[in-house]
Amino acid sequence: VSIVYPPDTDTPQLAEETKTKPAETKQITATAGVWRAEDVAQAIVQGVQTHRFTITPGSEMRILSQFHSLLAPGLQWYFDRIVRQVRQSHRGA
């Protein structure tokens, strides 16, 4: 049994999700980029073959999964800042 924390992956699901994604979420997720489905699948297969319980494709996801408790306050501040900026820009538009 494994659990996978995939990054945004270039799939029809992501394309459909993006149509209704709030502006705040678009801004936050834009910094991480989008992975090719083949690359995510390869990371998952490799993780399963090596009997890893937690599969985190990419260094960003790996760091986040290992240090989420330490990073949470900073990430929360960063996300709140982005939300404020997006909302202010919509009010000023």
Annotated domain spans of the chain: 3-92
Say whether pLDDT at 28 is over 90.
Answer: no
Write down the pLDDT at residue 93: 62
- Give the model confidence (pLDDT) of 39-93 as tens digits: 999 999 999 999 999 999 988 888 888 898 999 999 999 999 999 999 999 887 6
Beta strands 54-55 and 35-36, pairing class: unpaired
Write down the pLDDT at residue 59: 86
Amino acid identity, position 26: K
Contacts (Cβ under 8 Å, ≥6 apart) of 7: 32, 33, 34, 35, 40, 57, 58, 60, 61
